[in-house]
Amino acid sequence: MIDHSLLRPELTLDEVRAGCELAARYDVASVCVRPADVTDAVALLKGTGVLVGTVVGFPHGGTTTDGKVAETRIAVAQGAAEIDMVLNIGWLRSGLEEGVEADIRAVVEAADNATVKVILENAYLTDPQKIAGCEAAERAGAHYVKTSTGFAPGGATMEDLALMRAAVSPHVKIKAAGGVRTLDILLAMAAIGVTRFGATATAAILDDQARRSQANTGG
């Protein structure tokens, strides 16, 4: 359920490679790397079952649709299986839902068969805007809606996740990111219906899960 996040701008290549090795060791769903790191991550994770994802229009969402499409095509050609795109936050706040939807749809089409997760960046949105963003993402054919980049003033909240789950059909999944640092938080969010989690505290979360499983089995 975890997308191990390797997006901080200051990460060295050695740190990115170590993060990929950690992801393989813990057998997480994916790593989410910076666009320039996709090729390395794909090579490092080949044969592990861990997918490689990257970001588009990150972190502010204000790049042109053509720019997002180009980023997406390059990433997919390099082996990225998942695309976490930031919708156009300013357009959404301006009430331009049709433009937001078209922006997302263009990325979905460029992604071909890759999974597309749409980041709303809820810290900047009202509840009606969050709902409108979720609805636009579903109409555009996105596979997930996601709370945050992790680089805004706030991250995932239980209230936002419940709102997002109610705003889309069961065909659209929910990803929480920003502040998912403990197993208890992850489990509480999973109970709402979240199925993916962007996290940097992956080892701590999964080590805690292993300890609890061992205690429950008396091992």
Q: Is 175 a catalytic residue?
A: yes
* Spatial distance between the Cα atoms of 140 and 67, rounded to a whole number of angstroms: 18
* Spatial distance between the Cα atoms of 84 and 156, rounded to a whole number of angstroms: 15
Residue of 59, 61, 55 lying closest to 31 (CA atoms):
55
Which one from 84, 130, 160, 173 is the annotated catalytic residue? 84
Alpha helices of 111-201 — where are they, by DSSP H?
127-139, 158-167, 183-192
* Spatial distance between the Cα atoms of 170 and 25, rounded to a whole number of angstroms: 31
Residue of 25, 85, 13 lying closest to 49 (CA atoms):
25
Helix (H) or strand (E) holding 111: none
Q: Is 130 a catalytic residue?
A: no
Q: Is 68 a catalytic residue?
A: no
Helix (H) or strand (E) holding 181: none
3-state DSSP call for residue 180?
A: coil
Which one from 68, 130, 146, 173 is the annotated catalytic residue? 146
Active site residues: 84, 146, 175
